[in-house]
Structure formats: structure tokens, C-alpha cells
Amino acid sequence: MNKLLKVLGGIFLAILIVIAVAAAIIIPKGLALDKDAVSYIEANIPLVVEKWNSEELKKRAAPELLAQPGVEQLPKLFSWLSSLGKLEKLEKPIGQVGTGVFPGSQFNGTWGDYVVNAKFEAGSAQIKVVLRRSGETWQIMGFHVNSQALFPQGASPSINTDAAR
């Protein structure tokens, strides 16, 4: 009995050591990817929404986004979004980075799922950005803008430019 407890204790200790080593490797890498994704969003989303130029989004778009039906309607969508006016403030993106299959999609790899609160001339907006890691950089796989300032009398139609879902 005493020998069995020593063996089980040794196995438990080995498992704890493996978990600690894995955490020591995975957590810093995840934090670095998160910091990199946030920096990417902070540097690139203002370029997309500054003049509401759909070509700026396309330059940064992942193949999944560009393959979506209706992508040819992006200029029309961005023309409508331009009614928000100039970007006044972009808050820090809030979200997470993950590796594996992006929830609700077929994408498998490193991804980031973030929400950015923004203030425009016409009002506030929430921008949802889904990123995918491609080599050493990020690409935009999903881009949604939600703002009550876009809809008179509280109407809120759904517009989907998200290849990740």
C-alpha cells in the first residue's frame, strides 16, 4: 500500500511538473501573440476607417474574407459607413488570441478575436475584428461595424463581412 502511494505520488508530481513547464512555455507565447495582435489592430484599423476606403481593408484582408460572396459590395458598404464621419478615438482592443479551430468556422490556425470601441463624429461604434496569423503577420478575416448612429429610429440591419463564421 505504501509503495502504491509513493508511485501515485511520483506520477502526480510528474504531471504537475509537465503542466508547469507547458504553462511556462505557452503563457508567454500567448501573451506575446496577444500584444502583437493588439498592436496590429491599433496600427491598421485607423487606416481602414480613416477615409472608409474598402481598398485599405482589402490590402489587409485574409483570403477567406476576400472569397466571401458580396465582397464586390464593399465600396458601397464603406460609402454607407462613411456617414459615421472622422475617427475621433479608438480604444484599446479587447479580446483573445487562440490556436486551433476558430469557433464556428473551418479556419484552423492562430487567430485573434477582438472588439474595439471607437468614437466617430456621428457617434460611437463597436468594431469587431477577427484576425488570422499568416506567417509573421496578421490578416483581417472578419470586420464588423455596429453603431446606432448608422440607423435612423433605432433600426439595426445585419451586415456580414466575416469570413470566419
pTM: 0.76
Is residue 160 within 8 Å of 83, Cβ to Cβ?
Answer: no
Q: Is residue 29 part of a domain?
A: yes
pLDDT of residue 158: 47
Give the range of the structural domain holding residue 18, as residue numbers without chain letter: 2-154
Is residue 159 over pLDDT 50? no
Domain assignment present for 93: yes
Q: For residue 131, what is its C-alpha cell? A: 484576425
Within a domain: 121: yes
Flag whether pLDDT at 109 surpasses 80.
Answer: yes
The CATH code of the domain that includes 148 is: 3.10.450.590
pLDDT tens for 116-142 read 999 999 999 999 999 999 888 999 999
pLDDT greater than 60 at residue 69: yes
Residue 164 lies in a domain: no
128: in domain: yes
Alpha carbon distance 38, 44 (integer Å): 10
Residue 131, in any domain of the structure: yes
Nearest CA-CA partner of 120 in 86, 144, 91, 96: 86
Domains contained in the chain, number? 1
3-state secondary structure of 129: strand
In a domain, 159, yes or no: no
Q: For 21-87, what is the HEC assignment?
A: HHHHHHHHHHHHHHHHHHHHHHHHHHHHHCCCCHHHHHHHECHHHHCCCCHHHHHHHHHHHHHHCCE
Q: Is the pLDDT of residue 108 over 90?
A: no
Domain assignment of residue 129, yes or no: yes
